[in-house]
Amino acid sequence: MNPGIIAITGASGLLGSALCARLAASGWRVRALSRARPASLPRGSTHHACDLPGSIDESAFEGAHAVIHAAYSMRSRGREEDRRTNLDGSARVLHLARRAKARFVFVSSVSAHDAAQGFYGQSKLAVEHTLDPERDLIIRPGLILSKEAGLFARMRRTISTTGLAPLFGGGRQIIQTIHLDDLTLAFQRALELDLTGTLTVCEPTGLTIRDLFLLTARLERRPLRIVPLPFGPAIAALRLAESLRLRLPVSSDNLLGLRSMRLTDPVESLRRLGITPRDAATSLADLLADAPRGGAAP
């Protein structure tokens, strides 16, 4: 697909803003949709208001060649609000893309599978089931590695501020990661190649979440103490905190997703895209190369 007009929801988020930058640089005319205007937009891009599911500037879809739906909320005031934003909101964006005869690209997750225990994975899968694999594209990223925002950035801040690594269920779960730059390249390639269906974008082998914590601390030369925690009581405690409107680095849904995490095979997807993503060690070495140093990690 040749670059044309592309609408990107969630344009103020971690992935959405990175996609705006990548695709604008490769020749796309970007229409950035988000609740609040991003602090900066690529030259030539325009901002359009989008507060799903009810409020959306429909003019952003007029003449669009493609729509990337990256907007997703999991840290609002309650599950019903998340359901309206994510499920009803996705249906609204899909309807507008269909009306504009635009290509629809949905940002899903490797946590979207039939055995998913968390609402995040379950809801992503529910949206996937509304799409047509012959005309739509679903991209399932692994854990996005970025030091700016997202779940990994919150994990990193926990290491930096507390020196503790809370490991749930022994920390033996395999996490498959993807560097933010490699992920945006995958979207660019998928659009250029006019791919459809489902693509899994992450490193093939992964590493345990325990090793991810230890590697991060070692690269930042931070001392780290492992704190083992059982899933059940931790989920109950987080649900109590959430009922009191307390914001913590992880949510009960994060833990449910982690508990049902499973290894996925991205090799065929990566072959179709023609990319070789960095593994976690290489990604973290790149991201944390200029990180401030603390005391030596044990």
Q: Give the pLDDT score at 143.
A: 95
Q: Decide: 137 and 104 in contact? Cβ < 8 Å.
A: yes
Domains and CATH numbers, the chain: 5-142+179-202+264-278 (3.40.50.720)
What pLDDT is attached to residue 20? Answer: 97
pLDDT given at position 160 = 87
**Cis peptide leading into 53, omega within 30 of 0?**
yes
> What pLDDT sits at residue 1?
74
**pLDDT 10s digit of each residue in the chain, 298 long?**
778 999 999 999 999 999 999 999 999 999 999 988 888 899 999 999 999 988 999 999 999 999 999 998 865 556 788 888 899 999 999 999 999 999 999 999 999 999 998 888 999 999 999 999 999 999 999 999 998 888 899 889 888 889 998 888 888 889 999 999 999 999 999 999 999 999 999 999 999 999 999 999 999 888 999 988 888 888 898 888 888 877 777 788 888 888 888 899 999 999 999 999 999 999 999 999 865 544 333 3
Q: What is residue 113's predicted lDDT score, i.e. its pLDDT?
A: 93
Going by DSSP bridges, is the β-strand pair 137-141/29-34 parallel, antiparallel, or unpaired? unpaired
pLDDT at 293: 46
